[in-house]
Structure 1
């Protein structure tokens, strides 16, 4: 069985999308777009597990899964996102005037 966790990357993408489009807009207002130079590094490390019972599979996953700070995990996602944004309010609308993501 191979274990792959894409949930954290998905949550990061959704969070970034919501952040960039969070201003209230009226019909016809332009929606903010993600920066084209946004860099995303993704690495997948797979590991095999064997077992014929749930306990054997769980034990194998803890033994062979990723380790971080002396702890064992079935899967592990490490990520860093830093963002700053500036906006201007105009009546019922707001507009992001600058976004920095690193």
Structure 2
């Protein structure tokens, strides 16, 4: 998609220390440090935006990112199918600028 992307991050960390997790209700805009999903996605979006603006100075990604925890195989398959079929829906995208 020209203005957004989808991806599935698989985290295999099994030794999670609960003190590393943000408290419930903590601001989503707070800096949670290096190597968090937020910092990784933010860095990726920054790199993509800088490179894309060399081709098209008006390039913009959709601002926020949305996350969802995939808890079972059924949900994984549904999300995987959504990602695979999403480009066919580009003409319906409300953020589409052409």
Q: Which has the larger radius of gyration?
A: 1
Q: Which has the higher relative contact order, 1 or 2, with Cα contacts under 8 A spaced 6 or more apart?
A: 2
Task: Compute the TM-score of the two structures, normalised by the length of structure 1.
Answer: 0.26
* Greater helix share, structure number: 2
Task: Compute the TM-score of the two structures, normalised by the length of structure 2.
Answer: 0.26
